[in-house]
């Protein structure tokens, strides 16, 4: 059985970790990147519940072209063709626009938008264009209807949606589908449920709860899978009806 080879950018924590686990559960071989914590990445591999698949991790700084090249070489060494790319890394540094430092604006754009472009562009030569492939970009509802005080984040996430739509039309004839998932408020280890701001956010959600990381992961897998074989250039919102 030829297993699908999936590359997940940002897979050691939060939504990215759940995406890794979802693809593993579907018998895919996975290579994922980490940036800050090798121990988290190793723990994800250690907790892999499917002994039939291959799961590997490698360091990647998406703001460094040298690091991107090293990561791509690692992928090439470990699989001949890539069938799926998931871009799920990003940073948040909210601040009122008038107070925002240039470095803060540029760092968020470099990681969220520029990194997405350069990583996917660098991986394209090893994407399987013969049998078909799928790319899913994790954007955010903040790129569709942003809140105040997040001009850098909103610009980066809206840019990722525009990047996705243009890529989808460019690569459709090459059998590569490109879509995005836009999560709303999602419960992760970093979310303090006792925080009044979190409770206020929950009150704005028709379903009256935060989303779960595994719910985002299942949306990602759907867009990757053959069940979405005629879907491209689309953004799937996962936000409990808030938008």
pLDDT digits (tens, 9 = 90+) for 15-58: 999 999 999 999 999 999 999 889 999 999 988 878 899 999 99
Confidence of residue 103 (pLDDT cuts 50, 70, 90): very high
- The domain that holds 224 is classified in CATH as 3.40.50.720
What local confidence, expressed as pLDDT, does residue 148 receive? Answer: 93
Task: Give the number of other CB atoms < 10 A from CB of residue 189.
Answer: 8
Classify each residue of 73-92 as buried b or exposed e, where b means 16 or more C-beta atoms within 10 Å of its C-beta.
Answer: ebbeeebeebbbbbbbbbbe
Q: What percent of the chain has pLDDT over 90?
A: 87
Is 153 designated active site? Answer: yes
What local confidence, expressed as pLDDT, does residue 190 receive? Answer: 65
pLDDT at 59 over 80: yes
Please report whether residue 170 resides in a domain: yes
Report how far residue 101's alpha carbon sits from residue 90's, in angstroms, rounded to the nearest whole number: 18
72-76, 117-121, 198-202, 239-243: which has the minimum mean pLDDT?
198-202
CA-closest candidate to residue 157, choices 134, 175, 189, 180: 180
Name the residue range of residue 192's domain: 5-238
Please report whether residue 54 resides in a domain: yes
Confidence of residue 1 (pLDDT cuts 50, 70, 90): low
Pick the residue with more confidence: 50 or 238?
Answer: 238
Please report whether residue 145 resides in a domain: yes
Q: Pseudo-torsion of CA 133, 188, 241, 143, nearest 10°?
A: -60
Residues 28/220, Cβ–Cβ less than 8 Å: no
Confidence of residue 189 (pLDDT cuts 50, 70, 90): confident
- DSSP per-residue letters across the chain: ----EEEEES-SSHHHHHHHHHHHHTT-EEEEEESS-HHHHHHHHHT---TTS-EEEEE--TT-HHHHHHHHHHHHHH-S-B-EEEE---------GGG--HHHHHHHHIIIIIHHHHHHHHHGGGB-TTT-EEEEEE--GGGTSPPTT-HHHHHHHHHHHHHHHHHHHHHGGGTEEEEEEEE-SEE-TT--TT-HHHHHHHHTSTT-S-EEHHHHHHHHHHHHSGGGTT--S-EEEESTT--
Please report whether residue 243 resides in a domain: no
What local confidence, expressed as pLDDT, does residue 90 receive? Answer: 93
pLDDT at 173 over 70: yes
Counting the structural domains of the chain, the total is 1
Could you say which of 34, 87, 153, 221 is catalytic?
153
Residues 31/6, Cβ–Cβ less than 8 Å: yes
Overall average pLDDT of the 111-136 stretch: 97
Q: What percent of the chain has pLDDT over 70?
A: 99
Average pLDDT, whole number, for the chain?
95
Please report whether residue 47 resides in a domain: yes
Residues 156/113, Cβ–Cβ less than 8 Å: yes
What local confidence, expressed as pLDDT, does residue 22 receive? Answer: 97
What local confidence, expressed as pLDDT, does residue 79 receive? Answer: 92
């Amino acid at each position: 059985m030829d297993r699908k080879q999936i590359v997940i950018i940002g897979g050691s924590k939060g939504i990215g970790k759940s995406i890794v686990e979802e693809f593993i559960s579907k018998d895919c071989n996975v290579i994922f990147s980490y940036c800050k914590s090798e121990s988290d990445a190793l723990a994800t591999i250690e907790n892999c519940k499917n002994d039939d698949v291959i799961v590997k991790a490698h360091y990647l700084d998406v703001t460094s072209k040298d690091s991107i090249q090293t990561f791509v070489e690692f992928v090439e060494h470990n699989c001949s063709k890539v069938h799926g790319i998931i871009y799920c890394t990003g940073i948040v540094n909210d601040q009122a626009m008038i107070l925002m430092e240039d470095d803060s604006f540029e760092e968020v754009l470099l990681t969220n938008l520029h990194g997405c472009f350069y990583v996917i562009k660098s991986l394209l030569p090893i994407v399987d264009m013969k049998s078909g492939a799928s790319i899913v970009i994790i954007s955010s509802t903040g790129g569709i209807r942003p809140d105040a005080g997040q001009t850098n984040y909103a610009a980066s996430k809206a840019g990722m949606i525009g990047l996705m739509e243009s890529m989808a039309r460019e690569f459709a004839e090459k059998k590569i589908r490109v879509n995005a998932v836009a999560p709303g408020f999602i419960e992760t280890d970093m979310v303090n449920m006792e925080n009044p701001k979190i409770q206020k956010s929950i009150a704005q959600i028709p379903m009256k709860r935060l989303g779960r990381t595994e719910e985002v992961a299942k949306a990602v897998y759907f867009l990757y899978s053959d069940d979405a074989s005629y879907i491209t250039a689309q953004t799937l919102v996962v936000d409990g009806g808030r938008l």
